[in-house]
Amino acid sequence: MRVAVGHAAFRAQGLLGIPRRGDIDYTRIITIRLEDIEPSIAGPRRPQDRIPLSHARLRFEEQLSKPLEAGGFGLPGEALHRRVTIDAAADGLGHGDILIAAITSCTNTSNPAVMLGAGLLARNASAKGLRVPRHIKTSLAPGSRAVTAHLQRHGLLEPLAMLGFEVAAYGCTTCIGNSGPMDPDIEAALDRENLVGCAVLSGNRNFEARIHGSIKANYLASPPLVVAFALAGRINIDMHAEPLGHTPEGEPVYLRDIWPADAELQALLEDLSPEAFATAYESPPMNGGWLDVQATGGDIYPWPSSTYLARPPSSTASHSTLNRPPRSRTPGPWRSSAIR
Distances (CA, A) of 240 to 57, 126, 170, 243: 11, 20, 33, 8
- C-alpha angle 251/252/255, rounded to 5°? 140
Rounded-to-integer distance, Cα 229 and Cα 246, Å: 14
**pLDDT at residue 312 in the model:** 75
**pLDDT at residue 338 in the model:** 37
**Which run of H or of E encompasses 252?**
strand 252-253
Question: What SS3 class is residue 107?
Answer: coil
Following DSSP, what letter does each residue of 127-146 receive, concatenated? Answer: HTT----TTSEEEE--SSHH
Q: What is the sign of the dihedral through the CA atoms of 230, 232, 237 and 238?
A: negative
**pLDDT at residue 285 in the model:** 63
Q: What are phi and psi of 161, to 5 degrees?
A: -65, -35
Q: What are phi and psi of 183, to 5 degrees?
A: -55, 130
Residues 6/180, Cβ–Cβ less than 8 Å: no
Residue 291 burial class via C-beta count within 10 angstroms: exposed 0-12, middle 13-18, buried 19 and up = exposed
**pLDDT at residue 19 in the model:** 79
The crossing angle, in degrees rounded to 10, of helices 145-153 and 274-282 is: 110
The closest alpha carbon to 147, from 191, 103, 178, 185, belongs to 103
Ranges of residues in the chain whose predicted pLDDT is under 50: 317-340
> What number of other Cβ atoms are within 10 A of residue 44's Cβ?
28
Strands of 76-119, DSSP E: 83-86, 89-94, 98-103
17: left (phi over 0), alpha (psi -120 to 50) or beta: left
Counting every residue written for the chain, the total comes to 340
Residues 179/100, Cβ–Cβ less than 8 Å: yes
> What number of other Cβ atoms are within 10 A of residue 46's Cβ?
15
Which domains does the chain possess?
A: 43-281 (3.30.499.10)
In tens, the pLDDT along 31-81 reads: 999 988 999 999 999 999 999 999 999 999 999 999 999 989 999 877 788
Distances (CA, A) of 163 to 63, 89, 205, 249, 302: 30, 16, 24, 19, 44
Residues 141/109, Cβ–Cβ less than 8 Å: no
Cis geometry, peptide bond prior to residue 331 (ω within 30 degrees of 0):
no
The closest alpha carbon to 222, from 260, 270, 252, belongs to 260
